[in-house]
Amino acid sequence: MKSIALPRGVHSAVWTPSRSTGTLHSAGLRALTSRLVRAGVQGFLVLGTTGEFPLLKRSERLKAIEDVVRGANGLPVTVNVSDVRPDRVLRLAAAASSAGATAVAIMPPLFFPHSQADILEYLLAVASKTDLPIVLYNFPERCGNNLEGETIAQFVRRRPIAGFKQSGGRWEFLRELVLLGKKQGFPVFTGTDTRLAEALELGAAGCVSGLSNFAAELIVGVQSAVDQGNKAAASRFSLRLQEIGRLCDQLSYPFCVAAGLSARGIDPGPPRQIYSPKSFSACRLLEKQLRTKFRQWGLPLQEH
């Protein structure tokens, strides 16, 4: 099957708001998705790391897919179908197709260590069971296994992909991925949104951004400025993003995204994880710091 490449630009790794009961807040997710459409993002990743997919029930994942597709106003929606159990991966991929998603993202097998040969076999097996285009999603610090360049090349020779998302600390690997993408005909997206301008200079197509949930204007601003050759604007937006990144480093990810949403006046819902009083205090401080920055920069705030 020939794959359709994801469009260049900012794809928001959308947050999944929760209710006071800890369950998915569907109306809040649809509202957030619609808000991001208005902010100018070019697509969505639902059930990614920012979306806390391991913490959601299967029914919540299925509903989240429907909510984002519904709110995306025709923009491409990629669904991360990764799970520790392969049978769940296949069921999620089928649900994504039924819901009208654009593509499915697949991480290497989660938690247990795998050889590169086993990772390749796993990815090919999952890809053979879906009719949707594939996005390979590499985040070794989270899933416990890393996709190496030769494994990616072997996969693409057998199944074209719609894109590649590289997250985590291996920044130097991005250059290798971009060269492979140009050779094999697929776009590469960075998950390091605070360094989007640098990624674009290397030849990346854009980013899959968690910070876009509360700072989409800045992320989209970098992409647009670089594409237009406006170095001054790209630098201004990048410096603000880096400032946000430094502040967010005070708190674990993605809890810092919840703080950013609250700072913009968007209710993220109560956390699904158990956090210490110290982390909640850090969250309140981060929210205050970010709100101050947003006001300085003229980014509009809304009431909960």
Q: Which domains does the chain have, with CATH numbers?
A: 9-228 (3.20.20.70)
Please give the pLDDT value at position 1. 47
Cβ contact 213:32 at 8 Å? yes
Asked whether the whole model's pTM tops 0.75, one would answer yes
All residue ranges of the chain with pLDDT < 70 are: 1-3, 303-304
**Distance, CA of 271 to CA of 284 (rounded, Å):** 13
Closest CA to 250 of 278, 292, 214: 278
Q: What is the DSSP letter of 269?
A: -
Q: Are 196 and 33 in contact (CB under 8 A)?
A: no
Burial-class residue 145 by CB neighbours within 10 Å (0-12, 13-18, 19+).
buried
Which string of b and e fits 65-99 if b means at least 16 CB within 10 Å? Answer: bbbbbbbbeebbbbbbbbbeeeeebbbbbbbbbeb
Q: Where are the alpha helices (DSSP H) in the chain?
A: 26-39, 58-71, 86-99, 116-127, 140-143, 149-158, 173-184, 196-202, 212-228, 231-248, 255-263, 277-297
The average confidence (pLDDT) of the chain is 96
